[in-house]
Structure 1
Amino acid sequence: MSPTLIKLAGWLPAVIIPAATIIQLATIFKDRSTQGVSWLTWFLFGVANIGLYIYTEKYSALQSIVGLLGSAALDFLIAGLALASFGVSEDSTQST
């Protein structure tokens, strides 16, 4: 495989993973609510990103730092917001 293709393949997750996470954060702040957001899911995404960062052993590669550690930090932010029920009123959490 060509080195250019390998380098491009390394940048894909470094762009796509944080972009997907930022889309979720933007939705939370646009709606001013975490209703329907699973804190456990985003917490586990964060743990998985840290695990993958350790597994790849590319500790100084910008792709790994941005794509995995940066995303993990954002994942934990989303989990924290969801756990704190950011923007969710008590009325919307009670069953009818």
Structure 2
Amino acid sequence: MGSERVSVLELTLFEHSEASFLRALDEADIAHSRTVIFSTAPQASGVKEVISAVSDAMPWNAIAKVIVAWIEARHSREVMITTEDGKIFHVKGK
């Protein structure tokens, strides 16, 4: 058995974006699953969705295309991406 890593992309989706973004992932055949988080502290109202794959098999190109198309469909949409090392990328429609 190899020493392959599993990559996990955690998405936080909010009320008005959840259905359309999940539909876009489904249309691109990107597998995803809901994660339930239990906490005693207050949490944001978003739902957590996870995309996971063996590191080399993560569909980064397809995910990027989904994000771009989703933002372009309604220019008021925006996406924030936080990397493992804490860098934040904020993408907005025109």
TM-score strictly above 0.5: no
TM-score, normalized by length of structure 2? 0.29
Query: Which protein shows a greater Rg?
Result: 1
More helix per residue: 1
More strand per residue: 2
Q: Whose RCO is larger (CA < 8 A, sep 6+)?
A: 1
